[in-house]
């Protein structure tokens, strides 16, 4: 069996795990991140992309609200290319308790958020889709954030400092000796090859899977798995994040991202951490509630629905669903269970991932005798794209294409522009909906974490637009056929990709999306006979 050696193994390739890897790397601690699928394939790509101001939690959880506000400011600074600083609104509709407003305003002020009330007419002028029956509205510093980009920023930054990541790799055993962790055994999910990684510390940042990981070390850790379903609309419905001004509930957040809007979420306890199947009944419930703010909601085109599992943690396990704290907990298993070198970080939310990583690495660094301070709040994830480079990009990809690629690629944008300048055929737009060029696809395909069309999608947004991959998935397959890693079974590559898209299209299968689905079946069955392909 192949072996490897590092100081720390981080389990889980979501926002928290990649944030931890970066923090370790910036403090000079060697680390390997192990992820069972692709980076962000779990909860970190299955949320509404809201960078909280904290206002949503102010009444119930002051500490969480303060943390959100602080982290929101930090992320805007260190990850400007990942954040759309559009601001947020809290609006009240008829039927919402008017008395709640004063409590909410006071709680926000206590947390330092300072909501500013705006005139309802002014609100409607700027956001005409909102219903005219809205009674009050307040501005807060919410923003939209791109989870994929933040993760990639973390990973690329960590790699520059020597960190390693292994995707499609599952931890199959945690070895210990005399009450101390000695390493982990991992299995490559694509090849079945096993490997041992010797280490001093294991950080369990597996999110919804954290309980399964703890069990490998013989420990009990109960994570509440709370499924939330969301709907993506093919329109920018409003100019700011819109929250419902009432105690947090289902279907009361709209987050515009570029040209689309995400409405979420539902809340339902599930047993399986991989339970990400959105159901039509959940979509109907979201629409029903969403209509209270946006009366014409169902007439806007929906692209797909998706679901993620919130890993919630409640010491004592008394509460469920919305009642469970959104706070995070750092569990030192040396103190709790007498196992040295094993730490779990559970609960929390995307907005506070950096803080979670900082607290976790503070503990681990102290145990390892490293006294360098955390630098993740100071050093930007990526250097800003120079104007001269952006101008060169515009010549090869067009203005909107270059802007999108620069935001997505960060530090890698320079290499992609250079490739496209040298080989004009790479300038072709493969995904017309999201403006992803062949140059960008070829670039990410060469990353060692790319094995499937879905990996390309998560890194570039290829296939995430209006056509949901009908055209660009076939093109991408064609362009990648020359790489060894993509030379395998084409039916499997393509059908896995199309099937995952299908999973999200089915719950919104009416209107334009049914038309699009018919085109998709016409192409892949009627023209390509793919249902009988070998």
Per CB under 8 A, contacts with another protein among 191-230 are: none
The Cα angle at residue 248 between residues 242 and 249, in degrees rounded to 5: 95
How is the chain split among helix, strand and coil, in percent rounded to 5? Answer: 45, 20, 35
Could you give the CA distance from residue 433 to residue 401 in angstroms, rounded to a whole number? 10
For residue 228, which of 305, 347, 288, 309 has the smallest C-alpha distance?
309
- Among candidate residues 204, 149, 193, 185, the one with its CA nearest the CA of residue 410: 149
Identify the residue among 60, 367, 428, 485 touching another protein (CB under 8 A). 428
* Rounded CA separation 445/405 (Å): 15
Residue 530 is a binding residue for another protein (CB under 8 A):
yes
What minimum distance in Å lies between the beta carbon of 499 and another protein?
5
- What Å distances lie between residue 259 and 149, 462, 520, CA to CA? 17, 15, 22
Asked if 534 is part of the footprint of another protein (rule: CB under 8 A), the reply reads: yes
Separation between Cα atoms, residue 475 and residue 9, nearest integer Å: 37
425 binds another protein (CB under 8 A): yes
Contact 146, 135 (CB under 8 A): no
> Which has the closest alpha carbon to 266: 246, 280, 286, 281?
286
* Per CB under 8 A, 522 contacts another protein: yes
> What separation in angstroms does the CA of 402 have from each of 256, 393, 431?
21, 5, 14
Query: What's the min distance (Å) between Cβ of 430 and another protein?
Result: 6
Between 180 and 490, CB nearer to another protein: 490
* Angle subtended at Cα 99 by Cα 98 and Cα 103, rounded to the nearest 5 degrees: 125
Contact residue for another protein among 132, 177, 191, 499 (CB under 8 A): 499
Verify binding: residue 510, another protein, rule CB under 8 A.
Answer: yes
**Chosen residue from 298, 320, 337, 418 binding another protein by CB under 8 A:** 298
| Region from 61-69, 171-179, 216-224, 523-531 binding another protein, contact rule CB under 8 A | 523-531
Say how many Å lie between the first and final Cα of the chain, rounded. Answer: 34
Q: Does 399 engage in binding with another protein (CB under 8 A)?
A: no
Q: If binding is defined by CB under 8 A, does position 297 make contact with another protein?
A: no
**Rounded least distance, CB 530 to another protein, Å:** 6
Count residues contacting another protein (CB under 8 A)? 47
Check: CB of residue 412 under 8 Å from CB of residue 185: no
- Selected from 127, 479, 484, 504, the binder of another protein by CB under 8 A is 479
Ranges within 228-247 binding another protein (CB under 8 A): none
506 sits near another protein (criterion: CB under 8 A)? yes
Instruction: Indicate whether 502 belongs to the interface with another protein (CB under 8 A).
Output: yes
**478 lies in the site for another protein, by CB under 8 A:** yes
Interface residues with another protein (CB under 8 A) are: 284, 287, 298, 425, 428, 430, 438, 471, 474-475, 477-479, 481-482, 487, 490-491, 495, 498-499, 501-502, 506, 509-511, 514-515, 517-534
């Amino acid at each position: 069996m192949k072996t490897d050696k590092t100081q720390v193994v981080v389990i889980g390739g979501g926002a928290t795990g990649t944030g931890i890897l970066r923090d370790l790397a910036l403090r000079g601690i060697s680390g390997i991140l192990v992820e069972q699928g692709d980076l962000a394939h779990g909860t970190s790509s299955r949320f509404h992309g809201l960078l909280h101001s904290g206002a949503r939690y102010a009444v119930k959880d002051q500490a969480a609200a303060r943390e959100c506000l602080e982290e929101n400011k930090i992320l805007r600074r260190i990850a400007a290319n990942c954040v759309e600083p559009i601001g947020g609104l809290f609006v009240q509709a008829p039927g919402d308790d008017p008395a709640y407003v004063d409590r909410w305003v006071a709680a926000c002020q206590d947390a330092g958020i300072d909501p500013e009330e705006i005139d309802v007419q002014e609100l409607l002028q700027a956001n005409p889709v909102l219903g005219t029956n809205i009674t009050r509205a307040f501005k807060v510093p919410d923003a939209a954030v791109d989870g994929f980009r933040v993760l990639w920023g973390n990973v690329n930054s960590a790699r520059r400092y020597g960190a390693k990541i292994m995707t499609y790799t599952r931890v199959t055993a945690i070895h210990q000796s005399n009450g101390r962790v000695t390493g982990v055994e991992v299995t490559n999910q694509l090849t079945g090859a096993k490997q041992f990684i010797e280490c001093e510390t294991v950080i369990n940042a597996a999110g919804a899977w954290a309980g399964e990981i703890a069990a490998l070390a013989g420990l009990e850790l109960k994570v509440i798995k709370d499924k939330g379903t969301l709907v993506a609309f093919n329109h920018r419905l409003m100019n700011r994040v819109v929250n419902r001004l009432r105690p947090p509930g289902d279907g009361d957040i709209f987050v515009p991202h570029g040209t689309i809007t995400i409405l979420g979420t539902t809340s339902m306890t599930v047993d399986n951490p991989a339970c990400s199947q959105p159901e039509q009944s959940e979509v109907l419930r979201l629409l029903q509630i969403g209509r209270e703010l946006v009366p014409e909601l169902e007439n806007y085109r929906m692209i797909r629905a998706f679901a993620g599992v919130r890993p919630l943690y409640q010491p004592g396990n008394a509460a469920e669903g919305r009642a469970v704290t959104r706070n995070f907990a750092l569990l030192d298993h040396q103190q709790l269970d007498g196992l040295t070198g094993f730490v779990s970080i559970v609960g929390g939310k995307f907005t506070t991932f950096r803080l979670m990583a900082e607290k976790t690495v503070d503990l681990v660094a102290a145990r390892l005798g490293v006294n360098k301070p955390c630098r993740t709040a100071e050093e930007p994830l990526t250097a800003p794209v120079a104007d001269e480079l952006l101008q060169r990009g515009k010549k090869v990809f067009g203005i909107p294409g270059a802007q999108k690629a620069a935001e997505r690629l960060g530090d890698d944008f320079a290499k992609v522009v250079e490739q496209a300048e040298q080989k004009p055929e790479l300038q072709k737009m493969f995904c017309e909906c999201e403006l992803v060029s062949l140059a960008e696809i070829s670039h990410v395909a060469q990353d060692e974490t790319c094995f499937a069309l879905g990996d390309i999608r998560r890194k570039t947004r290829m296939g995430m637009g209006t056509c949901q991959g009908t055209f660009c998935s076939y093109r991408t397959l064609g362009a990648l056929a020359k790489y060894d890693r993509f030379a395998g079974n084409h039916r499997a590559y393509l059908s896995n990709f199309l099937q995952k898209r299908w999973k999200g299209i089915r719950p919104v299968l009416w209107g334009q999306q049914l038309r699009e689905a018919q085109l998709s079946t016409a192409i892949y069955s009627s023209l390509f006979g793919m249902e009988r392909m070998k």
